[in-house]
Structure 1
Amino acid sequence: MSVCENLPKATNQLRRGALGVGFIIFFVISAASPLSVLAGGFPIGIMLGNGPGTPALLLLALGVLLTFAVGYTTMARNVTNAGGFYAFTSLGLGGLVGGAAGVLAMLAYNILQVGLYGMFGGVVSGTMASVFSIYLPWWVYSLIAMASIAILGYRKIDLSARVLSFIVVAEYLAILVLDIAILTSGGDAGVNFDSFKSEHIFSGTPSIGLLFCFAAFIGFEATTIYGEEAKDPQRAIPIATYVSVLLIGGFYALSIWSMVVGVGTDKIVSVLQQLGEPTTFIYGLSDHYVGPELTRIIRVLFIVSIYAGLLAFHNSAARYFYAIGRDGLLPRALGSTHRIHQSPHLGSVLQSLIAAVVVLAFAALEADPVLQLFAWFSSLATLCLILLMAMTSLAVLMYFRRNPQLQLGVIRRLVLPVFSGLALTMVLIIAVLHFDVLTGSSKALSYLLCSTIPVAMVIGVWLAARLRRRSMTCFIALGSHKL
């Protein structure tokens, strides 16, 4: 227990041993929203990036994130904390930087979840109008989803895990059926590996394509957030992290490569450019290679995939509120758990209230739920999380330098964290330079959105400094909660 906690033990413990490796993996893959990424994100990424060479960039992103995962999971064996990035950064770089990371993480997961409400409402509204001739505003569907997610997030974590497990399996099976159909039929001009030739890898704008690839992995880092609720966390978290990264990366690479084969290496960009809505690309492939039955299933699963992402990120945001409230940076009431469900219920309620306010504000302004709410917020969240991963790489390096008694090899404690930190910093710079492309907005608005990142970090430093003035003992203990 953190030495400065003032809540009774029964009121601030998450539900121990509730999640096995499998359920943690389902949470992480759900956060990555594989079907919504394949149907909604990658068609745009292929069109704006390096076209048919996208599968190669996915493997590059996978390699960088695997090197990050080595240091990340090694530290996770010694630090089990629902604060994730916040806890790691506090222990590696000190309380002031930890405070900055904590507020930045809260910003990232909240706006990512709120942005997904925009996509969910927009997609469901469009589907209901075109299929059932039911015309309701997008925000009605967002609020309906919000109510059900608020209930699930308030209750026991294993209830959410069971819901997500069915959704993830269905998503993977549907896309794998399409992948197999394309490859066994020979695609447009026979199965080939042209996507991995240098002429295609470096065609178009690879830097933009790489950003979409990194954005597609967002959510995998959430494994550590569930450490306090995991069975045997020292073993479960590293396994769940590696399996999640490999499953997400392998599945994306196979599926995007199959799509390129299905349309043709030299045709895919022009086909996407001719589509009025790139997110319908996967439906055309499904109609052509399998049939309308699978297309209808994918349409439904697209919506369900977004819902799964909403639920996963809701749980992540609630746990950050809980961990940071428990340590005293936020009101300590947030660091309490439900008497029966042992869930971070107040963090869950706060997250739902934030989402409701933002969604209703965008609705009142008559903003576009996908092109504005989702595009702006998801892109900003991606920027936040890449920065947090770069900071965590440095935190891992410093943590093991300060704890030489842990007796780790130079590769795990030094070489790989340095490499991943430098690589992620380069990706971050590219993302900032091309942020207007990611958001689809003007440079002025893009940089205004970017400015919220240093503002959030300054607030975090201020909160940590305020805690230091009130109690040096609590400040020193930031991120050090023990099971």
Structure 2
Amino acid sequence: MSSEARRTQLRRGAVAFWHAVFQSFSFVAPAGDVAILLIGTAAFALGATPLAVLLAWLIYGLWIVVPYEFSKYIVNAGSYYAYSARAHGTLGVVALWYWMLEQITGPAFGILGLAGFLYLISPLISRIPYLWIAFAVIIWAFGFILSYLGIRPSLEYLMYTGFAEALFLFISALIIIAMLGPRNTWVVWTPEPLNWNWAPVFFGAIFSILDFTGLGTATTVSEEVKDPRRIIRWAIVTAWILSGLALIVPSYALTVGWGVNQMSSYASSPDPGLIVYMKYLGLPGWALLVAFTINSYFSYMTAKYNAVSRIWFSSARDGLWFRRLGMDKVHPRYKTPYRALIWFASIILIINIVTGIIMGPTNAGIWLLTFAGLGIIAVHIVANTALTVYSYRNGMLRTNWLKHGLIPTVASILGAVVFFYSVYPLPSYPYNVAVIASFIWLVIGAVLAIYYWRRHPDILVNAGLSYE
């Protein structure tokens, strides 16, 4: 049985290519990046921000080689966890544990991020005590309900709104570029605005690399996609291309539209994207960006519920710790991993509300996302290693040394560089607490892997099998 594909409990063939594309694309939430999050990149890359975003996109292209290649051989909702487990059981345990760090802290982007964004639009809102909790609960409940009701309705929503968002960002950026006329310049694609100093460009790219995180999550719906071994890998590539169009072109428009030599003030502005859109596209353009940014948060949360519930379901099905909580069960009607959804929803609501009350929604969101960023980089490094190990153990490495050996190794090195500069120098309080706690979490993951390797090898040997 261990060498054969098993029958999935999820709804087989419920969704198709474009659904899978926007499961991945929605994690990027490009409108949110355009409106606010490019600030992190601009703070270092300044007038070379478009170059930094382009480099980040290309680097992340190396990272998606792993899900692209693994999806040819393994069909499993566990995604990177399952892939790592098939390479070696201990890698699966480590990948799952590291990913959990991102999974329980990353939702702060949506749950707390929405409140922070609305506060920027209307400072009057921020003066109403604890109003942010209402925003948090609304977006939390929206994503949960949509994901609970089935994979198809949730991905239909992501597909239609995601396509509209990508189209708006691309076309609006082209309009701004056309309006700039002779102010258009090629220098933003070089380090010239930084006196040809490449270091700030790469440092700025670190922040944009994290903006592209999640492009591989089409793999989490692989058991529910028609012809997954063919469709999933092309869905990932398509989502990567769409995200590039939705972020790289707008980053150019925003940089030149703001002023190449004035980007230091861009980085210090709380809502520079909205300011540029108001300047060039007026109230209609501003309002549409606001609407699509809000939708980005809702889409992200829906995609997050879809992905995490299936990863936890997959690990529970394999007999890891989630099984004791009944997460290996699917809804009899909707065929969704509803128990995993309920557990995940409960955990993240508590974490976000408690940290939001203690630190305020904006600071709490940044604090939690520090955990998330470090966790997801660690997952990518483990998965990159897993592809090389899997290829070697199955006798494929000699003929696939470039895709299965060299590229994953380079991607891991780049991931380690991003990880290093994300924690060094150690940030000030309370973010240093998040960094230290993340390191402790990573060490615990290694201990758990050794424990399962010695005490439960029977669980690890069949972990991550294909389900079709």
Q: TM-score, normalised by structure 2?
A: 0.91
Q: Secondary structure at the match of 1:428?
A: helix
Q: Secondary structure at the match of 1:290?
A: helix
In 1: Cα distance, 2:171 partner to 2:78 partner: 38
Among 228, 231, 237, which residue is 2:232 paired with?
Answer: 237
Q: CA deviation at 1:339?
A: 0.8
Report the equivalent of 2:280.
Answer: 289
Q: Secondary structure at the match of 1:335?
A: coil
Give the partner amino acid of 2:97. V
Give the partner amino acid of 2:117. V
Give the partner amino acid of 1:428. F
Change (3 A) 1:419 1:126: closer
TM alignment of 1:137-156, pairs within 5 A? 137-156=131-150
In 1: Cα distance, 2:15 partner to 2:256 partner: 39
Change (3 A) 1:184 1:128: closer
Report the equivalent of 1:193.
Answer: 186
Unaligned runs of 5+ in 2: none
Among 252, 257, 280, which residue is 1:257 paired with?
Answer: 252
In 1: Cα distance, 2:262 partner to 2:397 partner: 54
Change (3 A) 1:434 1:385: farther
Report the equivalent of 2:11.
Answer: 15
In 1: Cα distance, 2:356 partner to 2:189 partner: 44
The answer to whether the 8 A contact 2:166-2:242 is kept is no
In 1: Cα distance, 2:47 partner to 2:394 partner: 46
In 2: Cα distance, 1:224 partner to 1:424 partner: 20
Change (3 A) 1:57 1:234: same
Among 31, 34, 51, which residue is 1:35 paired with?
Answer: 31
The answer to whether the 8 A contact 1:125-1:135 is kept is no
Among 394, 401, 414, which residue is 1:403 paired with?
Answer: 394
Verify: 1:368 aligned to 2:360, yes or no. yes
TM alignment of 1:83-482, pairs within 5 A? 83-92=78-87, 94-124=88-118, 127=121, 130=124, 137-186=131-180, 189-200=182-193, 202=197, 205-273=200-268, 275=269, 277=270, 279=271, 281-332=272-323, 333-365=326-358, 367-370=359-362, 372-404=363-395, 408-433=399-424, 436=427, 442=428, 444-461=429-446, 463-464=448-449, 467=452, 471-482=456-467
Q: CA deviation at 1:19?
A: 2.0
The answer to whether the 8 A contact 2:67-2:80 is kept is no
Give the partner amino acid of 2:376. L
The answer to whether the 8 A contact 1:99-1:457 is kept is no
Q: Which moved more, 1:460-469 or 1:252-261?
A: 460-469
Q: CA deviation at 1:468?
A: 5.2
Q: CA deviation at 1:341?
A: 0.8
Deviations 1:330-386 (A, max 9, x none): 242211111111111011101110122113312442x2212x222122232122111
In 1: Cα distance, 2:382 partner to 2:123 partner: 45
The count of aligned residue pairs is 464
Deviations 1:274-298 (A, max 9, x none): x3x2x2x122222221211121121
The answer to whether the 8 A contact 1:81-1:224 is kept is yes
In 1: Cα distance, 2:300 partner to 2:139 partner: 12
In 2: Cα distance, 1:452 partner to 1:133 partner: 32
The answer to whether the 8 A contact 1:2-1:481 is kept is no
Give the partner amino acid of 2:208. C
Report the equivalent of 1:45.
Answer: 41
Q: CA deviation at 1:481?
A: 4.2
In 1: Cα distance, 2:274 partner to 2:452 partner: 53
The answer to whether the 8 A contact 1:139-1:359 is kept is no
Q: Secondary structure at the match of 1:384?
A: helix
Change (3 A) 1:424 1:291: same
Q: CA deviation at 1:131?
A: 8.5
Q: Percent of counterpart pairs with the same letter?
A: 22
Q: CA deviation at 1:465?
A: 5.2
What value does the CA root-mean-square deviation take over the aligned residues? 2.7
The answer to whether the 8 A contact 1:125-1:136 is kept is no
Change (3 A) 1:126 1:183: closer
Unaligned runs of 5+ in 1: 4-8, 437-441
Give the partner amino acid of 1:369. P
Change (3 A) 1:123 1:328: same
